[in-house]
Structure 1
Amino acid sequence: MKKTALLTLLIFFGGKIFCQTVNVYNLGLNYIKQNQYLKAIDTVKALRKLYYDAHRSNPGNLSTYSYDQAINLFSSFVGEDYPYKFEGKDSIVRNHKLNFTPAIPYIIELAKKHKVVMINENHYIPKHRILTYNLLQEFYDVGYRYLALEALIPETNIILKRDKAAVYANEPNMGNLIREAQRLGFHLVSYESEDTTPDNPNFPAHRRNMRELLEARNLYQILVKDPEAKILVHAGVSHIWEQATTSKGMYMAEYFKVISGIDPLTINQSVLDDDEFTSRIGSSAGSDFNGAPVVVLDSLNVPTVSAEARKGDYDITVAWPKVRMKLGRNDYMLQKAGIKISQILVKNSDVGNLIQIFEEDDLDGIPVDQFIVKKGIRNYGVAIAHGRYQIQSVSDTGHVQWRKPLKID
């Protein structure tokens, strides 16, 4: 996690005041390790309010950004779109004619001509992982055998237990991405830098550059060991940028290009303005993409970039249509390649609870799906592979109110 939210709390006890510094990410993750996903969110929200109330009289020192990041992250783990949105630029692209084409076939055709493909995600947006999940089989079919994931770190590797999993692997779609890659036979690779260089205020860009450089080197080592390797990389946000955005250094993809001599196909899903393309997709003449992602093309049907980017920053922009509700879920949660939608009936007493579905013998693992029960909705869709599972309803305090076997045919 690049940013850390530290909050000094004034705790009143026995008539005395104590100061305590809290890392909200670690606090939330500790709750998640205990399967208290809702408590992680509620606790950080409460701390955010304490911080806001303590600083609102001095707005010049008020920034809830790191708290918002933590809440967005933990909310994504339970299938919720992020509640705190950050302001982006007004879109320049809206003034130009755009075309759209389904993302998966377009990407696969280009992937056939490349040796390395890099796809990014916004860590708060689960649907970005669903794109890579839905590409896995087709990438395998055209010869890709390595999947490099930022979500893996060396000491945790591919363990999908809550008490040991890497941070982003706590989100069900990332867990499912890892499971599916293993099932297909991909070699999973952790490429994260293990550099421990401390921050240096005299050279503020040094640590970031070391991370980007060492990530690129770790990816290149795959090719050193296996020169015929074809690699799919799933990375965070700007790591796939192919040219520096400032004079302070380069990103992973550009370092990789320099080290290896290979120009990767880079695919960006993360834009500052979420609405930059969604309204245009919905009004695109004769197109109904049924909630599936699309590649953004200019009037000449050439891939174009988002408003905040420059030509050459990356190769392809993938955008998603406006989210619609389907069977109580965001529609993208039900778009899993080769998996039919099943329906789960909940009780009125489950309102506000977290419904979790685990592999049958893996209650300590990462759920294959989970969602919060909303008032007035009793029927929910899930897209999980056929098999035997355990389903349970968990309160906001982490209490399991009921659990039963679930069979998906």
Structure 2
Amino acid sequence: MRATFHLLIAVVFFTSCKEEKIIEQVDFKTKYMFSSEIESQLAKDTVSWKYQIAASQYATKGDYKNAMNQWDIAMGIKRKGFTEDRVDSINQKYTKVNANDYILEQAEKNQVIIINEAHHNSFHRSFTKSLLKQLYDLGYKNLGLEALSYKDDLDSLNNIRKYPIQKTGYYTKDPQFGNLIREALEIGYTLFPYETKNEEANGKPREIDQAKNIQKAIEAKPNEKFLIHCGYDHALEGNYDYWEKAMAGRLTEYTGIDPLTINQVKYSQQSTSEYNFPLLNALDIKESSVIIDKKGKPLKHKKGDAWSDIAIFHPTSTYINNRPDWLFKNGNQNVTINLEKIQIEFPIMVLAFKEGENINMAVPIDITEVKSSKETCNLGLKKGTYTIVITNGNESLKFKQPVD
């Protein structure tokens, strides 16, 4: 845990663009890790999954590029692309349609939607967030999150506090996951956890527990619709070798409901385009898409005898000052934080909190690390007023930042 402890004593003024800002020293503590700490831990760790851990740690601190890099190191990905003739054949075989539009069209016919994520890929959380309002308008009032911890005061989360804190979960510390939760609560969703409470349960017992917990939530509201956000293979229907059935398959077994299952993981971008799944590159994806064959059927994600109904193809990110372009879309502005006159030793972490939220408890709206005062600091923020906290692990400062 990183911590800084200072009295609120110094008040400094500097001019930025249109207005004068007041900077205060502040007591602040955070568990977010600097890149140097992650790298140091990587150098010391001997476990085979250390790069997967690092990928999640980078994702949690808003470093999408390094999260992608570490995951590819962990997986040892090597792929060969398609020939030009094969690429032409694929594009003649399939039609690309907007993923949001297609999912919403299918959502009207279903009671339960299950969508997955890779735990190192923050964009998957952002995409699920993009669906929330329109799904709510279609009757999806309940959001089940695998990552939601029972340690949080869930009644307060849903009805009083209305924002995620550090106890809300492990993966929910990622600002993009936190924003998914915030938006769901603002829209009016009821959030519920469904992870097994048995910390020893894994494999088949875990899938059973998850499905039974979701079953209880559905049986309590039999006339309502449910959106379930899970990790990786939990969204598989049918028979699955490792667990006999994954959570989605068990849910059908226990409830008789055939969910709409959506896979975001299979065809997601890697750290470089040469590591991408060849089909993603062949299709030249410009927006999140579902691909439809000549019979009007969507391409599924298949894994042995198991499947998810829809495979989503997301576009490969481009970067603006080392931050992914999608961070500045869907209502977010690219906000430059002026650091030139900040009197603090670099590197620093810059965290944006929604005004009124407890900065020592809340999950930030966005985070980025800046190594020197000459670097540009960009945050993805909606209109509103934010508390910007700057820390180097020993000293912390804060000021207000309006976004018009």
The TM-score bracket by the shorter chain reads 0.7 to 0.9
SS at 2:238 equivalent: coil
CA distance in 2, matches of 1:46, 1:109: 48
SS of aligned partner of 1:302: coil
Is 2:341 aligned against 1:344? no
> SS state of the match for residue 233, structure 1?
strand
Alignment partner of 2:167: what SS? coil
Structure 1 residue aligned with 2:387: 390
Name whichever of 267-276 and 100-109 sits farther off.
267-276
In the alignment, is the contact (CA less than 8 A) between 1:359 and 1:367 conserved in 2? yes
Please give the secondary structure, in 2, of the residue aligned with 1:279: helix
Give SS of 2:49's match: helix
2:218 to 190, 208, 223: 223
Distance 2:43 2:217 in 1: 46
Q: Is the 8 A contact 1:267 1:317 kept in 2?
A: yes
> What does residue 335 of structure 1 align with?
329
Q: Secondary structure at the match of 1:295?
A: strand
Structure with the bigger RCO (C-alpha within 8 Å, sep 6+) is 2
Matches of 1:89 and 1:302 in 2, distance apart?
30
Residues 42 and 144 of structure 1: CA distance in aligned 2, closer, same or farther (over 3 Å) = same
The amino acid that maps onto 1:169 is: T
Partners of 1:350 and 1:393 within 8 A in 2: no
CA contact (8 A) 1:239 1:251 kept: yes
Question: Is the CA contact 1:392–1:400 (under 8 Å) kept in the aligned structure 2?
Answer: no
How far apart, in 2, do the equivalents of 1:218 and 1:139 lie? 22
For the pair 1:133 / 2:107, whether they are aligned, the reply is no
The amino acid across from 1:105 in the alignment is: D
Q: Please name the residue that 1:35 is paired with.
A: 30
Instruction: Report whether the alignment pairs 1:87 with 2:76.
Output: yes
- Normalising by structure 2, we get a TM-score of 0.77
Q: 1:342 to 1:311 in 2, by over 3 A?
A: farther
Q: 1:10-409 maps to which residues of 2 (within 5 A)?
A: 30-31=1-2, 34-39=29-34, 41-51=35-45, 64-81=47-64, 82=67, 83-84=69-70, 85=72, 86-88=75-77, 90=79, 95=86, 97=90, 98-156=94-152, 157=154, 158=157, 162-197=165-200, 207-246=202-241, 248-271=243-266, 274=270, 275-276=276-277, 277-282=279-284, 289=286, 292-298=287-293, 300-305=295-300, 309-310=303-304, 313-326=307-320, 328-336=322-330, 338-347=331-340, 352-361=347-356, 362-364=358-360, 365-373=362-370, 378-395=375-392, 398-409=393-404
CA 1:237–1:31 in structure 2 vs 1: closer, same or farther (change >3 Å)?
Answer: farther
The CA deviation at 1:326 is 2.9
Matched letter for residue 63 of structure 2: E
Amino acid at match of 2:105: E
Residue in structure 2 matched with residue 57 of structure 1 by the alignment: none
- CA offset at residue 36 of structure 1? 4.2
- 1:26 equivalent in structure 2: none
Partner in structure 2 of residue 24 of structure 1: none
Separation in 1, partners of 2:295, 2:377? 42
* Counterpart Cα distance in 2 of 1:377 and 1:304: 47
- Look up the SS of the partner of 1:399 in the other structure: coil
Q: What is the CA–CA distance in structure 2 between the aligned matches of 1:195 and 1:394, rounded to whole Å?
A: 37
Distance 2:328 2:144 in 1: 25
Relative to structure 1, the CA distance from residue 140 to residue 238 in structure 2 (aligned partners, 3 Å threshold; closer, same or farther) is same
Query: SS of the counterpart of 1:65?
Result: coil
Report the TM-score when normalising by structure 1.
0.76
Tell me which moved more, 242-251 or 338-347: 338-347
Asked whether the equivalents of residues 195 and 210 of structure 1 are also in contact (C-alpha less than 8 Å), the reply is: no
Q: Which amino acid aligns with 2:174?
A: E
- Structure 1 residue 75 displacement after superposition: 0.3
1:104-151: CA deviation from partner (whole Å, max 9, x where unpaired): 111111111110000100011100000111111000111110011112
Q: Could you say if the C-alpha distance between residues 324 and 311 of structure 1 is closer, same or farther in structure 2, counting changes exceeding 3 Å?
A: farther
SS of the residue corresponding to residue 266 of structure 1 reads: strand
Q: Which moved more, 1:164-173 or 1:153-162?
A: 153-162
Mark the CA change 1:297 to 1:375 in structure 2 (over 3 Å): closer, same or farther. farther
CA contact (8 A) 1:44 1:70 kept: no
Change over 3 Å in CA distance of 1:227–1:248 after alignment to 2? closer
Specify whether residues 369 and 259 from structure 1 end up closer, same or farther in structure 2 by C-alpha distance, changes over 3 A only. same
- Equivalent AA in structure 2 for residue 187 of structure 1: T
Shift of 1:101: 1.9
Is the contact between residue 104 and residue 134 of structure 2 (CA under 8 Å) also seen in structure 1?
Answer: yes
Secondary structure of 1:258's aligned partner: helix
Asked whether the equivalents of residues 212 and 239 of structure 1 are also in contact (C-alpha less than 8 Å), the reply is yes
Any conservation in 2 of the 1:334–1:381 contact (CA below 8 Å)? no
Q: Distance in 1 between matches of 2:243 and 2:139?
A: 37
CA distance in 2 between counterparts of 1:42 and 1:328 reads 17
Residues 76 and 320 from structure 1, CA distance in 2 versus in 1: closer, same or farther, beyond 3 angstroms?
same
**Cα root mean square deviation, aligned:** 2.9
Q: Once the 2 structures are TM-superposed, how far is the Cα of residue 99 of structure 1 from its aligned partner?
A: 3.5
Residues in 1 aligned to 2:44 and 2:190: alpha-carbon distance in whole angstroms: 45
Task: Tell me the amino acid that sits aligned with residue 358 of structure 1.
Answer: F
Contact 1:148 1:231 in 2 (8 A): yes
Distance 1:279 1:105, change over 3 A: same
Give the secondary-structure state (helix, strand or coil) at the position aligned to 1:383.
strand
Deviation at 1:379, TM superposition (A): 4.1
How many Å apart are 1:31 and its aligned residue? 4.5
